[in-house]
Structure 1
Amino acid sequence: MLAGLLACLILVTGCTLNAGTGFADEFGGYLDTRADVDSHRVQGNNDLPGTGSADSRVQLRAGLTDPELAAAISEIATHRADQQIAHHNLTVAFPAENGSGGEAVVSVFLRLGDGALGDTSPAALETRIGQVREFAAADPALVELSATVSDLHASTTGDPFVTAGALTDYLRTEPPGVQRATARSGAPGSLGVVSFDVGDPIDALRPMVAILGVLPAGTVPRRWRASSQRPFTAPQFELDLPRGTDPAVLEAARQQAAALGVPLRALIAK
């Protein structure tokens, strides 16, 4: 390792110490020139001397047709900066309609460089855009769909089980690289989460609905989670109740879980 570093420092050609940040500066400057880009965030990573990577999120402006979106994403994905890096995690977001006609921000993810994922041709991207739009239309309360190298994260103002069901349908389109999915509703202090690995049955997580059903009106959990995501090998259930909750409510939730034959980690905040 030391010898490689010294060689990199000595050689005039072949090594750039800050490859990631150099790429980020170039790529961000390129995005600034595009009229179809509303905003962007590019993070360059100087992984090792002479190598680098980047993580980018690009928001395209409203009003573009699907062919225009596909062409824009393809051009952005295939743009080559002078500074070369090992890989580029690129998320491109655009507006869509949810099932109630409201606006949701959805995205397409592409991993570029080594370990590349997905077809960057306009035709393939237009198909993916249509699939993402269909996902959004299946959820009446969807707010956002974001993607990373192996995860899909969906936010909703409604029932996260509805969003999780829509995610399972979308996953049948085999978005490249996705291994895990999460649907969440609410914000810290009142958050519901359904998380699972690709291929897991959502019905195995639905006992959480019955557990929540024993809570009295007005008792809003600080957080609940139903998950079969790795490292779990079987569904797990969590329930955090607000401070001051009657212990009888906690006991009722535990009894419901026992009757359903599922594990429940439940507590009242102190």
Structure 2
Amino acid sequence: MYRVVLACAAYLAAFWSVMPARAVEAYIFRGAGDFSFIADGLNFSTGMDRLGRELRGSGVEARVYRWEAGEIAYREIMRRRPESVALMGHSMGALTSMALAKRLQGSGIRVAYMGLIDIPGPGGVVPANVEWAENFYHAFPVFGQLTSGRGYKGFLSNRYVMGQVHITMDKAKLVHNAMISAIWQADAREQSNHLRAYAGEQPADATIDRVEKALATADRRAPATDPYTTAAVTTSDAVPAKPRRKTGSGLPPIE
């Protein structure tokens, strides 16, 4: 059992060195009515700032922009060159997210997730390079129904949010939880792809050599006794067994 655990640990350690902290980066866009350039928090889409803080707190790289800053976000993405991005927006920011997703086609950067909150107009068609599109809308007016084009191979979900209106949906906990969960699922898929790609690139003999070296090192350091059932005792600390006293009956004494 001890050797099996060490082998698994050595195998995972070989993979871990090539894994990024997070495979997906998030780019978030506020809606119209954003005067944050005058003072922080002076905008109607404060929920998007909160979403960014929640994502950063969970370990995901997240950046929040005004809805007009699509070009700035695009240049930042091309500079950083993440393997995958998540694009999210409220109101006009939702339209910016869709436009940015289209622009990233052919860039080599995957759009793992696109989360839209109450698109202010006909939703349109999901860009073909978006792997997972999630659209949150409310009843009056129903503008933001997304559709998928012919041959679309991703996943599309239009989700009605009860009890919310346009200026509150960006702050809804249900929406935030759904988006964060989706990003973590997308990130897990990307991490899994990294592992499979790395395993496919490594010669089997090289991996076995790493494991055998780890086991050999562990054997030199391991105690002579089973670490899961007994403690290691050196010769100098050993206590000799107490000899039994003989009795006339031939039975062992009661101690």
Bucket of the pairwise TM-score, normalised by the shorter protein: under 0.3
- TM-score relative to the length of structure 1: 0.27
Structure having greater relative contact order (Cα 8 Å, sep ≥ 6) = 2
Structure possessing the higher radius of gyration over alpha carbons: 2
